[in-house]
A and B are shown apart, each in its own frame.
Chain A
Amino acid sequence: MKRWDAIVIGAGHNGLVTACYLQRAGLDVLVLEKNDWVGGAAVSRSLTPGFTYSNCSYVCSLFRPEIMRDLELPRHGLQVIAYEGGAVLTQDGDFLGNYRDHEAHRREFARFSARDAEAYDRYSRDVTRQCRFIQPLLMRTAPDPTSLKPRDLGELLYLGRKFAGLGASEMAQTVRFWTMSISDFLDEYFETDVIKAYFALSGIIGTALGPMSPGTAYILLHHYMGEVDGSVGAWGYARGGMGAVTRALAASFQASGGTIRTGAAVDQVLVRNGKAEGVVLEGGEEVWANTVVSNADVKRTFLSLVDERDLPETFLRRVRNFKIRGSSGKVNIALDSLPEFPALPKDSPCLRGDLHFTDSVERMERGYDDWKAGRWSADPFLDVVIPTTLDPTMTSPGKHFMSCFVQYCPPKVEGRDWTDVDRDAFGETVISQIAEYSPGFRDRIVHMEVRTPRELEAEVGLTEGNIFQGELTFDQLLFNRPVPGYAQYRSPIGGLYMCGSSTHPGGGVMGAPGRNAAAEMLRDLKRGTRHMSAAHDVI
């Protein structure tokens, strides 16, 4: 029977990134995907004729340019179309536009507050400073602070030096920034509700935290980091939907000789004498390999694919305690014509970007209160995009696809499982919010896909439907991600690795966990990593 050099469980973007790097290092790699298609949460699927959806993730902003280059994604068909703007529609019938031009941006803010308009430069400088501090860490394996190994000590020293290099007042500010809520942080710069709401959304997207929760200022960075090293056009749509990202990855992988099997769900990781030897598929087929790497989240990997008896008690306890809370849903809508937003001029570039209807931090936080009580937000925060304003390939002419990311949406409804009735009611909550701002919206709807954490878990395999494969709180960042002691992509089982967003640096369609995992595996295999670009300089 064939014995593969490596098996990757799950053809999500991180799994494919790992697979590509391993294959290019000369390994013989097999990717196993339970669905009949690849992509994980970065997929484009057609659920109704004439329309393609970005079913889960919907924006290409964080993908590391180093990985795009190494894996030749543009050559394999990836095209990214930059957002042209964005807007927050306000309850008084106005909107706050987001313009790419610096002066237009300032004048737009000045409509609301002269002071806020001029505070923006200092704000963006301070955020940029923090991004520059954290960004180089994305493409490094987090050091183990309890280890005395030279490599860990060296990395700790690197971190220490970087921190000390900031100077006393910047150090003090950095400590504050890392521990503040996005709401408190924004209060230090801005006075206008809608402007704060506009910035605050980046502090909460994908998390089970509210904008007033300490630690959310850091999460802002997680969404901004794509932009600091001169990556032009960082925020954009993948032409053809987000599946284009994973399709390009799959094509790159196959072009370098890799093998993908879809419809092959893994039931168990085969472990012999504390070492992974392959996997057993649902149906009983055994597939053998020297190493196995899991793109699934840490809970799914170790609580369902591995026999508990093969794992140390401390590790198991920490995996069980890993916080992976679904907090968001997704509504994909097929429209027979472009919706109208009377607040926005018809030719506004803001329409060709992300639209929001939550014009105060308080409304966001109240939405979070609902989630804490086990309900979806009655007045949810939506991140709406209509990629077909810029990408004609996803629908037939004149028709449109609207993607609505919805927060907050709990993994269980008041403690019980979701029902179809709940799901439809959740969808209705979203539609009625949009319809408030867009007359005739309902009449344009041709088809709609409503995804609650239940659907995300069932289809993509994300535990509790958490899009980041685990909360981005301090206790689950850096050397704590996913669990202390196993934050370097390895697991207690020899030859079994993790490469999903449960690992450092976390979620978003970034690819960094997949790349870093491949680097660690190749290190263990004593293989070269010269085909992996070093992280871009931040000078």
Chain B
Amino acid sequence: MIASVPGRELNPRLALQDHWRAMRRETPFHSRLAALDFRNDWYSWAGCKAPLSLWDEELEYFAIRSQAALIDISPMVKYRIEGPDAETYCERVFVRNVAKLRPGRVHYTAWCDDEGHVLDDGTLFRLAETRFRLCCQERHLPWLLDSAIGFDVTVADETEAVAGLALQGPTSCALLKDAGFAGIERLKPFDLAFFPHEGGTVTISRTGFTGDLGYELFVEAADALSLWDRLWEAGQLRGIRAIGYTALNRARIEAGFIVANADFVTAEHAIRADRVRMPDEIGLGWLVDPGKPHFNGRRAILEARRRRSLGHVLVGLEIEGNVPAEHALVYHAKKKEVGLVSAAIWSPMAKRNIAIASLQRPYGDTRKDDLWVEIYALREGQYMKLMKRATVVPRPFVKLDRRTATPPADA
């Protein structure tokens, strides 16, 4: 009888059988978020319950720009990369030069398949000479493991083991100082450092997804709540506010950051063969270092550059008027369809109507004149069809000196 095989109850898999009873998993910070939540406006971020908004989207947005916003980023996918060959391994996987990334530093990077199509973008934390952490949107374990063939390195998923918080906004540095993270003001953008917390360690990096002064904190899941409480207490006089994705998304568009599977389709998820993109086609060409040792997709990327066969370009657009152009079609000379807006808002900081768009070259590349977006604004049962002029502008749309000033001004 299979149902009563000896030793069945010792099988560690059995303890995990009941996961389906909670299809949206709660993050280590969930109880704190739930206590602050008045809208019950949750969405699924990689299978976790995450807030779109907890109280009020606009207040949450202004917390990022004027005070300190606390964001639970635990659902972000995290991989630990460790071993004597960790650096050469990363060099082979990522398009950016990893030899230039010193221990204690973080950089934004991307990685590609053999055809040079972007598998994802993310941040690579060099925690030590031979230890890295990769944070990204999608899951890539098989790719990362297959990339490890021939390298003395281990790759492991630590998404659930490590909890993450982003603390973003002008008062964030002062807040952390108040919370007892001594020396935090010395961190330059993309620096990371380790601080003691409850007998353990919290890793704090001066990074974020808002284009503002801000930090990201990573801690063992068991220490998550005490870390939250430590920040929350220190933040009472600094205007700390827990926020959801809607506000964060506004800030990231202002900062000109792109989101995988929103602004571009990741190569392992693209069902239609023409939806994949090379780094140069999504504004990430600057990451690619052709001079460094071989990396995945190098031949294809250089070949495409040489043959000028890149099909698309990702641009920032400034659009006349104040109606957001989300998912609007982009035209040349009002006639020829040349692309699509993937993200757009009216920017409260820039006081401009801004958008991120993917265009077919040469439009947006060598031909930037006479671009238009067709906005369908649904107003009380009717589409208001607007044809608005669009100008290619550099990203970020909003540039803040406080993002880079070190030490940050005490706010």
Contact between chain A and chain B defined by CB under 8 Å? yes
Chain A residues engaging chain B, CB cutoff 8 angstroms: 89-95, 97, 99, 101-104, 106-108, 111-112, 114-115, 117-119, 121-122, 125, 128-129, 132, 165-167, 169-170, 189, 341-343, 345, 348-349, 436-439
CB of B305 closer than 8 Å to a CB of A: no
Cα separation A169 to B14 with both chains bound (whole Å): 41
Q: A121-B269, A170-B273 are in contact. Are A111 and B16 (CB under 8 A)?
A: yes
> With contacts A107-B20, A118-B141, A165-B273 known, what are 9 further pairs, Cβ within 8 A?
A91-B5, A94-B17, A103-B25, A106-B47, A112-B13, A132-B271, A189-B142, A349-B20, A436-B1
Nearest CB in chain B: distance from A122 CB, A? 5
Do B20 and A93 touch across chains, with their CB atoms under 8 A apart? no
Chain B residues lying within 8 Å of A125, measured Cβ to Cβ, are: 268-271
Chain B residues lying within 8 Å of A104, measured Cβ to Cβ, are: 19-20, 23, 47
Cα separation A94 to B1 with both chains bound (whole Å): 13
Residue from B5, B145, B268 in contact with A122 in the complex, judged by beta carbons closer than 8 Å: B268
Chain A residues lying within 8 Å of B140, measured Cβ to Cβ, are: 118
Q: A103-B46, A122-B268 are in contact. Are A114 and B141 (CB under 8 A)?
A: yes
Do B141 and A91 touch across chains, with their CB atoms under 8 A apart? no
Do B142 and A92 touch across chains, with their CB atoms under 8 A apart? no
Do B273 and A167 touch across chains, with their CB atoms under 8 A apart? yes
Nearest CB in chain A: distance from B209 CB, A? 22
Interface positions of B from 260 to 282, Cβ below 8 Å from A: 268-271, 273
Do B13 and A94 touch across chains, with their CB atoms under 8 A apart? yes
Cα separation A169 to B2 with both chains bound (whole Å): 45
CB of B309 closer than 8 Å to a CB of A: no
CB of B44 closer than 8 Å to a CB of A: yes
Do B141 and A115 touch across chains, with their CB atoms under 8 A apart? yes
Chain B residues engaging chain A, CB cutoff 8 angstroms: 1-5, 8, 11, 13-14, 16-20, 23-25, 44, 46-47, 115, 138-142, 145, 157, 268-271, 273
Do B20 and A91 touch across chains, with their CB atoms under 8 A apart? no
Do B17 and A169 touch across chains, with their CB atoms under 8 A apart? no
Per CB-CB distance, the 5 closest pairs between chain A and chain B, nearest first, are A103-B47, A93-B8, A342-B3, A118-B141, A118-B139
Nearest CB in chain A: distance from B31 CB, A? 21
Closest to A170 in B: B273
Chain B residues lying within 8 Å of A103, measured Cβ to Cβ, are: 23-25, 44, 46-47
Nearest CB in chain A: distance from B301 CB, A? 16
Do A108 and B19 touch across chains, with their CB atoms under 8 A apart? yes
Nearest CB in chain A: distance from B38 CB, A? 26
Q: A94-B13, A104-B19 are in contact. Are A115 and B145 (CB under 8 A)?
A: yes
Residue from B13, B142, B145, B269 in contact with A111 in the complex, judged by beta carbons closer than 8 Å: B13
Nearest CB in chain B: distance from A355 CB, A? 13
Closest to A341 in B: B3
Closest to A122 in B: B268
Chain A residues lying within 8 Å of B11, measured Cβ to Cβ, are: 92-94
Do B46 and A121 touch across chains, with their CB atoms under 8 A apart? no
Nearest CB in chain B: distance from A382 CB, A? 13
* 18 A–B contacts, CB within 8 A, in A order: A94-B11, A94-B13, A94-B17, A104-B20, A107-B19, A108-B19, A115-B142, A118-B139, A118-B140, A118-B141, A119-B141, A121-B138, A122-B268, A167-B273, A189-B142, A342-B3, A438-B3, A439-B3
Nearest CB in chain B: distance from A99 CB, A? 5
Residue from A101, A119, A132 in contact with B23 in the complex, judged by beta carbons closer than 8 Å: A101
Cα separation A128 to B268 with both chains bound (whole Å): 12
Most chain A C-beta atoms within 10 Å of own C-beta, residue among B11, B14, B19, B115:
B19
Chain B residues lying within 8 Å of A94, measured Cβ to Cβ, are: 8, 11, 13-14, 17
Nearest CB in chain A: distance from B15 CB, A? 9
Nearest CB in chain A: distance from B3 CB, A? 4
Cα separation A97 to B273 with both chains bound (whole Å): 31
Nearest CB in chain B: distance from A359 CB, A? 10
Do B8 and A92 touch across chains, with their CB atoms under 8 A apart? yes
Cα separation A94 to B10 with both chains bound (whole Å): 11
Chain B residues lying within 8 Å of A128, measured Cβ to Cβ, are: 271
Residue from B2, B141, B145 in contact with A437 in the complex, judged by beta carbons closer than 8 Å: B2
Most chain B C-beta atoms within 10 Å of own C-beta, residue among A95, A103, A117:
A103
Residue from B24, B115, B142 in contact with A169 in the complex, judged by beta carbons closer than 8 Å: B115
Nearest CB in chain B: distance from A125 CB, A? 6
Q: A92-B8, A94-B14, A115-B145 are in contact. Are A439 and B1 (CB under 8 A)?
A: yes
Do A93 and B271 touch across chains, with their CB atoms under 8 A apart? no
Chain B residues lying within 8 Å of A122, measured Cβ to Cβ, are: 142, 268
Chain B residues lying within 8 Å of A99, measured Cβ to Cβ, are: 20, 23
Do B17 and A111 touch across chains, with their CB atoms under 8 A apart? yes
Chain A residues lying within 8 Å of B141, measured Cβ to Cβ, are: 114-115, 117-119
Closest to A95 in B: B17
Do A345 and B23 touch across chains, with their CB atoms under 8 A apart? no
Chain A residues lying within 8 Å of B24, measured Cβ to Cβ, are: 103
Q: A91-B5, A436-B2 are in contact. Are A107 and B268 (CB under 8 A)?
A: no
Chain B residues lying within 8 Å of A92, measured Cβ to Cβ, are: 5, 8, 11
Chain B residues lying within 8 Å of A89, measured Cβ to Cβ, are: 2
Chain A residues lying within 8 Å of B44, measured Cβ to Cβ, are: 103
Nearest CB in chain B: distance from A357 CB, A? 8
Closest to B113 in A: A169
Nearest CB in chain B: distance from A132 CB, A? 7
Nearest CB in chain B: distance from A353 CB, A? 13
Do B115 and A93 touch across chains, with their CB atoms under 8 A apart? no
Cα separation A76 to B1 with both chains bound (whole Å): 46
Chain B residues lying within 8 Å of A349, measured Cβ to Cβ, are: 20
Chain B residues lying within 8 Å of A167, measured Cβ to Cβ, are: 273
Cα separation A99 to B20 with both chains bound (whole Å): 8
Q: A93-B8, A103-B46 are in contact. Are A345 and B19 (CB under 8 A)?
A: no
Chain B residues lying within 8 Å of A106, measured Cβ to Cβ, are: 47, 139
Chain B residues lying within 8 Å of A95, measured Cβ to Cβ, are: 17
Do A93 and B19 touch across chains, with their CB atoms under 8 A apart? no
Cα separation A437 to B3 with both chains bound (whole Å): 6
Do A166 and B273 touch across chains, with their CB atoms under 8 A apart? yes
Chain B residues lying within 8 Å of A437, measured Cβ to Cβ, are: 2-3
Do A129 and B2 touch across chains, with their CB atoms under 8 A apart? no
Cα separation A189 to B13 with both chains bound (whole Å): 21
